[in-house]
Amino acid sequence: MKNIISIFKNKIRLTIPLKYHIFFWLSYFTFNVVRWGSYFNDYTYSLKSNLVEFPIHIIIVYFNVYYLIPKFILTKKYWKYIGSIFVILILVYFVRSGLIYFLVSKTLSPELGREVKFIDVNHFIVVALGELYAVTFVTAIKLLVDWTIEKRRNEDLAQLQMSTELKYLRTQIQPHFFFNTLNNLYALTLKKSDNAPRLVLKLSDIMQYILYEVVSSKANLLQEINHINNFIDIERMRFKDRIEFDMDITGEIDSIEVPPLLYLSFVENCFKHGLNGNDKVKVNMSFKSLNNGYLEFNVANNFNPKTSVEENHGIGIVNAQRRLQLLFSNDFILETKVQGNIYNLFLKIPVR
């Protein structure tokens, strides 16, 4: 018996605090006493009968919630559950009728408006329906609370999973960029170039932004643009006059927040796959803030049409696609197309 009580207490503590159980039953008891007392104009009888019935209600309710439902409903043994409930209702009828008769009144059920024998079909139906009402009402509340708690827990787990996956995706963004930049820095130091200190400062700014300033799922668009400009400056030090870059900004963007480091992966691809032999890399980029709460981004660069688009841009696109799905579900547009030797990318995201 002590083990059963201990199990019940543990389960109650895991879902609903005990104080709320006590508050609920006291409220329900008071409501019933007042309701039936006013109905029969006999509050003494109502109080006594409810003092007898409510302990039975409480025992049956918790037995149903913590034993019958897990044992039979959750294991799909529905007929056994129905049979158990029927047996319990018979036992409740006899126990309840006996206690009422000996402790409260010789009239077993005044609500029927006639004399009731100890074993009476109509009386059994009244008692059974009353017990089923109490069990169904309280069980529904318990299941609703459990469903709400489980829903919140699943949402928290999904949020944690999304956050973890986003962090993982962000770590994949530009490791090759750092390696290339460090190799270029090594070459500049060997030549004792005046650009070496500038490159170190630019690289330091980028690393500081990635490691320390980007700490959430959103970043200020102006900071992202500044980060892109630092990246372009480093590439200009590497390739000098082989780079033609143009950026156009339309609309108010001061307060717009976007996923951090999202656009940089697209810009990196422009330089990674736009440099063919001694050709120049040409990049045209634009940001357009729309009045309906969306931000449009376009970038176009030259590339080698003999190399497949999937090989050139696949990793960055797949990474970005996954991040966008995690952040915006289906409320975004990401399109790519090739026109001649120009690769175009269009992205539209909500920034409300």
pLDDT in tens, 65-98: 888 988 888 888 989 999 999 999 888 888 887 7
How far apart are the C-alpha atoms of 287 and 248, rounded to whole Å? 6
Task: List the beta strands (DSSP E) in 128-239.
Answer: 219-220
How far apart are the C-alpha atoms of 270 and 282, rounded to whole Å? 8
Report the pLDDT averaged over residues 28-50.
Answer: 82
Q: What are phi and psi of 69, to 5 degrees?
A: -65, -50
pLDDT at 309: 45
pLDDT at 348: 94
Give the tens place of pLDDT for each residue, 108-146. Answer: 565 555 555 666 677 788 788 888 988 999 889 888 888
Name the superfamily (CATH) of residues 174-350. Answer: Histidine kinase-like ATPase, C-terminal domain (3.30.565.10)
pLDDT at 265: 78
Task: Compute CA distances 327 → 2, 213, 351, whole Å.
Answer: 50, 20, 11
DSSP class of residue 240?
Answer: G
| Nearest C-alpha neighbor of 271 from the set 221, 237, 295, 248 | 237
Task: Compute CA distances 125 → 83, 90, 134, 348, whole Å.
Answer: 16, 10, 14, 64
Residues of the chain with CATH 3.30.565.10: 174-350
* Amino acid in position 309: V
Residue 311 has pLDDT above 60, yes or no: no
- Which tokens is 124 given? 């059994």
pLDDT at 349: 94
Residue 251 has pLDDT above 80, yes or no: yes
β 243-250/281-289 pair status: parallel
pLDDT at 294: 93
- Which tokens is 231 given? 């990246």
pLDDT at 313: 46
How far apart are the C-alpha atoms of 138 and 140, rounded to whole Å? 5
**Whole-model pTM?**
0.54
When pLDDT is cut at 50, 70 and 90, the band that residue 310 belongs to is very low
When pLDDT is cut at 50, 70 and 90, the band that residue 174 belongs to is low
| Nearest C-alpha neighbor of 173 from the set 263, 265, 258 | 265
pLDDT at 346: 94
How far apart are the C-alpha atoms of 331 and 198, rounded to whole Å? 40
Sign of the torsion formed by the C-alpha atoms of 262, 263, 268 and 274 = positive
When pLDDT is cut at 50, 70 and 90, the band that residue 106 belongs to is low
Residue 342 has pLDDT above 90, yes or no: no
Any residues with CB less than 8 A from the CB of 306 and at least 6 apart, and which? none
The half-sphere exposure of 110 on its side-chain side, counting CA atoms within 13 A, is 15
Report the pLDDT averaged over residues 208-222.
Answer: 77
Give the tens place of pLDDT for each residue, 199-213. Answer: 888 888 878 877 776
How far apart are the C-alpha atoms of 62 and 154, rounded to whole Å? 26
Report the pLDDT averaged over residues 261-274.
Answer: 77
Residue 50 has pLDDT above 90, yes or no: no
Any residues with CB less than 8 A from the CB of 344 and at least 6 apart, and which? 298, 299, 300, 336, 337, 338
* Owner of token pair 């991040």: 323
Give the tens place of pLDDT for each residue, 234-249. Answer: 888 877 777 888 999 9
pLDDT at 273: 63
Using DSSP, state whether 248 is helix, strand or coil.
strand
β 294-302/257-258 pair status: unpaired
**Do 288 and 250 touch, CB atoms closer than 8 A?**
yes
Residue 185 has pLDDT above 90, yes or no: no
